[in-house]
Structures are given as C-alpha cells and as structure tokens.
C-alpha cells in the first residue's frame, strides 16, 4: 500500500491529523532529504528512504517495489502532495501495477502564507510556479499574462534559485505591464520554520527585493487588494 502524503509547510502545527496517523502507521517514510529531515524530528523511530533532488521517478519506482513486498510506505511531499508534489507522478508510475495508492492532502504553501499575511486569497486566485525545469518559460509567461488579464490574485511558487536567479525579476517585468507599480504584494520565507520572515510591499518594491528564493512564497494582489493595519486583504465583496 502506498500513501502519498502532504506534510504541510514544515512543522507539526501544519501537519494534518490524518497525515500524522498515516506516517505513524507506515513501515517506511520516503522522500526528498530536506523533508525527511523535518520528519525525523517527529518520528525518530521510523525507517526512512532518503533521496536527493531530481530523483522523483526513482522514489516512485522504489515505493512501488516496497509496496509489492507488502510494506506500507508513505511517500511525502511538502505542502499538498497534489500541488507540485508527488501524487501525479506516483499514479503515473503505478499504472497497471495493481497496487493500491491513496493520496493524503496537506496544507499548501499558498494557504499557509496567506494566513500569515492576512486574507489575500479571499477571492479568485491562481498559483504559478516559476520553475522552468519542466515547464518552458514561454508557457509560464502566457500563464502570468492570462492571470493578469483575468485580474486574479497570483500566488508564486519557486520564484528564484541559484540556477535561475532572474526568473522572478523577469516575471515582475511582465506583471508590471498589466498591474500598477503600487499593487500590494507580499512574500513569506521559511513558512512555519525557523527564521520565518514576511513582508508586505508594492509590486515595484518586490521586483527589487533580494530576499526572494526557493524558500519563499510570493503573493501578488489584484485590483481590489489593499493593506490595512499590517494585513494584506483581498475583499470577497461583502457589503459592510
């Protein structure tokens, strides 16, 4: 049996009761080293299968083999396993195997960041990853433009890394063609972890921000988003 588990943003407070139950019940917990290190603090007695970055297919193949041996295995992803996580790939790898797979949802980075910042996702929003490892940058550009034209709040995952430091700044250049430079925005770094930092600023300011990296989630407001008493708010439309 394979459970694909979303472990939330990184601490016990963000781990659902269902996810914790599954992790305790499974024989093996498998995943990327950074996420396994987080789980080792809570489940030191477990057997862990630890993998480096970009070993996603290998993780799924090994999970399938463990399951065929009669083991219960938890394949973990940060946030929700179905949002840029391992759920889809695991289902693809397991096609035709006859092995049972269950997806265990988790708290996403978008939801966690929004709660820290206030209520920026109260109306329609989109989530866009700026990682162009598997999605061509041309497609990412189209999605950003479409989100702007639809006046969505935009939540950005994987904004910048050592190998692609300019992706976020390039994305902001696109956004500023459609949104005013003073559009309220914010970022949260190290959500639910040590050294958590959140800051609200304008679109112009966030484009120049040097603190945006792979540990950061960015939220770009829509035309209705505003800042009040240190909170980022996108109104739902209630009359008050």
For position 163, what pLDDT does the model report?
Answer: 81
pTM summary value: 0.92
For position 24, what pLDDT does the model report?
Answer: 95
| 238 within some domain | no
How far from 75 is each of 62, 101, 127, 154, CA to CA, in Å?
Answer: 10, 10, 23, 29
The domain that holds 183 is classified in CATH as 3.30.950.10
| Claim to verify: residue 31 and residue 140 sit in the same structural domain | no
| Claim to verify: residue 128 and residue 102 sit in the same structural domain | no
Distance CA 223, CA 158 (A): 24
- Summarised one tens digit per residue, pLDDT across range 26-85 is 999 999 999 999 899 889 999 999 999 889 999 999 999 999 999 999 999 999 999 999
Pairing verdict, β 184-189 and 197-202: antiparallel
- Summarised one tens digit per residue, pLDDT across range 114-135 is 999 999 999 999 999 999 988 9
Boundary (domain end) residue, out of 61, 88, 107? 107
Domain of 84? 2-107
Distance CA 99, CA 35 (A): 25
For position 142, what pLDDT does the model report?
Answer: 98
For position 53, what pLDDT does the model report?
Answer: 87
The domain that holds 31 is classified in CATH as 3.40.1010.10
Distance CA 109, CA 127 (A): 10
| Claim to verify: residue 42 and residue 147 sit in the same structural domain | no
Distance CA 52, CA 69 (A): 24
Contact 203, 168 (CB under 8 A): no
Q: How many folded domains does the chain comprise?
A: 2
Boundary (domain end) residue, out of 53, 80, 107? 107
For position 13, what pLDDT does the model report?
Answer: 83
């Amino acid at each position: 049996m394979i459970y694909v588990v979303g472990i939330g943003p990184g601490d016990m407070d963000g781990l659902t009761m269902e996810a914790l139950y599954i992790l305790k019940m499974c024989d093996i917990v498998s995943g990327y080293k950074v996420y396994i290190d987080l789980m080792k603090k809570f489940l030191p007695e477990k057997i862990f299968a630890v993998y480096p970055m970009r070993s996603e297919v290998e993780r799924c193949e090994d999970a399938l083999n463990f399951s065929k041996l009669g083991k219960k295995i938890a394949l973990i992803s940060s946030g929700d396993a179905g949002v840029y996580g391992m759920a889809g790939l695991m289902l693809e790898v397991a096609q035709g195997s006859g092995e049972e797979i269950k997806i265990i949802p988790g708290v996403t980075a978008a939801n966690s960041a929004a709660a820290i910042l206030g209520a920026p996702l109260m109306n329609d929003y989109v989530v866009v990853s700026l990682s162009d490892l598997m999605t061509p940058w041309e497609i990412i550009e189209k999605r950003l433009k479409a989100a702007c034209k639809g006046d969505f709040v935009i939540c950005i995952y994987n904004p910048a890394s050592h190998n692609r430091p300019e992706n976020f700044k390039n994305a902001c250049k696109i956004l500023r063609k459609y949104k005013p430079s003073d559009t309220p925005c914010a970022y949260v770094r190290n959500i639910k972890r040590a050294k958590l930092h959140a800051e609200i600023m304008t679109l112009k300011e966030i484009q120049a921000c040097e603190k945006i990296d792979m540990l950061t989630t960015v939220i770009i407001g829509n035309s209705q988003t505003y800042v009040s008493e240190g909170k980022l708010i996108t109104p739902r439309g209630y009359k008050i």
